[in-house]
Amino acid sequence: IAGFGAAVEASRAHVADTSMRDAFEQRLKTICPDAVIFGQGAQRVANTTCVAVANVQAETVLIALDLDGFAVSAGAACSSGKVQRSHVLEAMGFDVSLSSSAIRISSGWQTKAADLDALAESWGRIINRARARTAA
């Protein structure tokens, strides 16, 4: 019981620390200023970011990030395994160009800032490629 209590306390400290998530989200916005971070400024869990760039399909980003070695998701956690527009974002009133572009990124207790930096760099390259194809 004492060990479980210590584990809970250790995890609470990690969950309450939003600094790594906030720095990651700032990095995403620096790379792509028109990216939308859903829930930014609201009280939310410290290990999850939901981000979208209008008119860049989530499926495109998911596949490219997977090829780069990153596991992310589209939509809500309750509909994992499906690549479809988030019903939660739709209910919140976000338009199709954003809600169909949303990806969800979750970090774990072993995630390091360097891991999120690498993910942000990969994400930026993918967004730029997708936009270049759309513009062509």
Active site residues: 78
Which residue(s) pair with 52 in the sheet?
A: 36
The rounded distance, in Å, linking the Cα atoms of 114 and 131 is: 26
Strand order in the sheet with 103-106: 36-37, 48-52, 103-106, 73-74
Q: How many CB atoms lie within 10 A of CB 78?
A: 8
CB half-sphere exposure, 34, CA atoms < 13 A? 10
Collapsed DSSP state (helix, strand, coil) of residue 104: strand
